[in-house]
Amino acid sequence: MNVTLSIDNRVVVEARRIAATRGTSLNQLIRDYLEELTRVNDVETAINQLNAMWAENVHRSSSSWTREQLHERS
């Protein structure tokens, strides 16, 4: 998909310089950044879902365990 962005010329020049020092293109630099950004969002979403489950006590067992059952070795 093509996307048109409006970016200050100074920022583009500096970003191209950074991309060149990394041996990549500005286009790839932006794609990599957006990929990382969406991965972080996925992780944050997963953490929020786990926190919500924890808050709802979904982690609790349906029955009580005795001390012996907890420490039983197979």
How confident is the model over 7-17, as pLDDT tens digits? Answer: 999 999 999 99
Q: Give me the pLDDT at residue 16, please.
A: 96
DSSP string for 4-65: -----HHHHHHHHHHHHHTTS-HHHHHHHHHHHHHHHHHHHHHHHHHHHHHHTTTTS-SS--
| C-beta of residue 59 within 8 angstroms of C-beta of residue 53 | yes
**Model pTM score:** 0.55
State the pLDDT at residue 13: 97
The structural domains of the chain, with segments of one domain joined by +, span 9-71
Q: Using pLDDT thresholds of 50, 70 and 90, give the confidence band for residue 60.
A: low
